[in-house]
């Protein structure tokens, strides 16, 4: 059995993008504005690849399925860190978390990368009208350089029932009386984890956002230049609040609980945590959740997905009404996956497949891949170069991903050898970073000491051919030593070593 080994710091850092420049193909000139496609860029918070277009017919997602029918479904797309701000910062800059230096919810990527050109900024710099609304960057952050006009978001209540709004008011008053301020009040004054009030769609953020986006499309259509419109929906992020009609789409007794409500065997105890984000909501206990509560939570999550889906449908309908679909790339992505009781845990915040694997749909007018799926391994850092490539724009040299436009043309073609994610942890007071590699067959994770990345604290190894739920860590089995010896150099080579 291989023991936690010394791994060359320089090689590891190079693998994950510290001071890296990947040589991309550069175009000598932009195409004329009239020849450029528009881009409708739809971000969704906490969305699992549990949708109709992913073969999950128990989910009512007809509008996301419309995008899939007109485009390509990526079954194996991976975020670079499974939490909002690191994932979004990585995608929107086209660089990885060790380059953005964003591993938490407190740091803006401009601190480490003050001059980086973001994805929307790149389109703006090449003649596009670029507008952003809703949750694109993480809440509380924005990036004015990214937009042609100031970013905007609707103001809407968190709940529709007066009893829940009153609960928040009482908890807020109690938190202030206790001397709490800012985010500490927000953490202490959360309401219930789910709600199904009989209210109109625009009552909440996503319905109001859809109205804003429809209005923006009508205004943008009259502009002489192509557009890049970024629309960020917040559902199905907690709390699972959606109008009652979306709850009514699901029969509670038919909702299946997670098939593996237990932690991975032989995994380090810090690999997957129970989900403290959920426990911060009112009346959610710690530890294993009762089946009835788990089923209510899943019901709420599904309702929130269908509510968001209906708002996406409003955007697609408006594109059709305005005659814009024929020259508009539509891309929809969830910022990371989410656990709904798998591994006896909830939320994101890990390197496991449930968290790192997220939905990615892209419909490009005129491509022959419409209605197909692909198992090509792609990463969210690839979205920036792909959209620029499809629009005929030059690719900046700072990018740490590669355009997957060839996969859109041929979904079955050979592609990347691996996709990479990471997540920080601590063990016994020692800060760690878990670097995770998903190959065609395996997920392999090395937990490295952050102050001395030559040292590995633990390994995880899951065989997706035999164990797609990642229930048994093979890394501690003596028979896995030879396989780990093969995977370590691949992990050390990082993303550049995995390119097609």
Query: Which of these is catalytic: 60, 108, 138, 398?
Result: 138
Residues forming a β-bridge with 419: 438
* 8-state DSSP, 46: T
Provide the angle, in degrees to the nearest 10, between the axes of the packed helices 383-390 and 84-93. Answer: 40
Tell me whether residue 138 is one of the annotated catalytic residues: yes
Gyration radius from the chain CA atoms: 22
Query: Which of these is catalytic: 84, 126, 237, 343?
Result: 84
Coil, strand or helix at 62: helix
Q: How far apart are the first and last CA of the chain?
A: 31
Residues in the chain, overall count: 500
Tell me whether residue 352 is one of the annotated catalytic residues: no
Contacts 24+ apart (CB under 8 A), 460-463: 460/264, 460/267, 460/268, 460/271, 460/351, 460/434, 460/436, 461/487, 462/264, 462/353
The answer to whether 43 and 135 have CB atoms below 8 angstroms apart is yes
Distance CA 372, CA 410 (A): 10
The answer to whether 414 and 258 have CB atoms below 8 angstroms apart is no
Buried b (16+ CB within 10 A) or exposed e, 216-240: bbeebeeeebbbbbbbbbbbbbbbb
Cα torsion angle, 398, 415, 329, 225, sign? positive
Distance CA 362, CA 411 (A): 12
Distance CA 459, CA 472 (A): 12
Spell out where 47-170 has E strands: 72-74, 77-78, 129-134
Distance CA 251, CA 98 (A): 44
Let me know how many helices (H) and strands (E) the chain has, helices first. 15, 17
Q: CA of 271: how far to CAs of 52, 348, 455, 463, 485, in Å?
A: 30, 12, 17, 17, 21
Pairing label, strands 372-374, 456-463: unpaired
Coil, strand or helix at 139: coil
Residues with a known catalytic role: 84, 138
């Amino acid at each position: 059995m291989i023991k936690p080994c010394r791994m060359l710091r320089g090689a590891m850092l190079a693998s994950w993008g510290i001071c890296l420049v990947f040589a991309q193909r550069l175009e000598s000139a932009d195409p004329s504005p009239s020849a450029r496609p528009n881009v409708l860029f739809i971000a969704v918070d906490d969305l699992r690849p549990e949708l109709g277009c992913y073969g999950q017919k128990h989910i009512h997602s007809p509008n996301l399925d419309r995008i899939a029918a007109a485009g390509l479904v990526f079954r194996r797309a991976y975020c670079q860190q499974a939490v909002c701000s690191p994932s979004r910062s990585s995608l929107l800059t086209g660089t990885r978390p060790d380059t953005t230096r964003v591993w938490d919810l407190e740091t803006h990527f401009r601190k480490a990368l003050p001059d980086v050109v973001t994805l929307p900024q790149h389109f703006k710099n090449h003649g596009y009208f670029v507008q952003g609304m809703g949750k694109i960057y993480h809440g509380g952050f924005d990036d004015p350089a990214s937009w042609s006009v100031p970013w905007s978001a609707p103001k809407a209540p968190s709940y529709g029932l007066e009893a829940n709004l009153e609960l928040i008011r009482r908890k807020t008053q109690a938190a202030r009386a206790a001397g709490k301020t800012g985010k500490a009040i927000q953490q202490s004054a959360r309401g219930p984890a789910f709600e199904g009030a009989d209210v109109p769609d625009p009552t909440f953020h996503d319905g109001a956002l859809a109205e804003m986006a429809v209005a923006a499309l009508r205004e943008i259509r009259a502009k002489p230049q192509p557009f890049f419109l970024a629309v960020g929906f917040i559902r199905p992020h907690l709390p699972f609040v959606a109008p009652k009609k979306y709850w009514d789409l699901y029969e509670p007794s038919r909702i299946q609980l997670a098939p593996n409500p237990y932690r991975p065997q032989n995994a380090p105890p810090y690999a997957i945590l129970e989900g403290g984000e959920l426990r911060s909501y009112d009346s959610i206990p710690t530890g294993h959740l009762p089946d009835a509560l788990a089923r209510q939570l899943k019901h709420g999550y599904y309702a929130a997905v269908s509510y968001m889906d209906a708002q996406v449908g409003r955007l697609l309908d408006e594109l059709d009404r305005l005659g814009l679909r024929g020259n508009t790339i539509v891309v929809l992505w969830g910022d990371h996956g989410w656990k709904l009781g798998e591994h006896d845990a909830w939320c994101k915040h890990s390197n496991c497949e449930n968290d790192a694997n997220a939905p990615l749909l892209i419909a490009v007018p005129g491509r022959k891949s419409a209605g197909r799926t692909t198992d090509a391994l792609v990463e969210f850092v690839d979205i920036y170069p792909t959209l620029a490539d499809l629009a005929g724009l030059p690719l900046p040299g700072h990018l740490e991903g590669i355009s997957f436009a060839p996969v859109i043309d041929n979904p079955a073609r050979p592609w990347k050898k691996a996709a990479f994610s990471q997540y920080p942890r601590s063990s016994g007071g020692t800060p760690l970073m878990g670097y995770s590699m998903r190959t065609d067959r395996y997920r392999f994770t090395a937990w490295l000491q952050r102050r001395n990345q030559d040292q590995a604290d633990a390994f995880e190894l899951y065989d997706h051919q035999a164990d797609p739920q990642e229930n048994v860590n093979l890394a501690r089995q003596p028979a896995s030593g030879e396989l780990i010896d093969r995977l370590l150099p691949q992990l050390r080579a990082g993303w550049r070593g995995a390119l097609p």
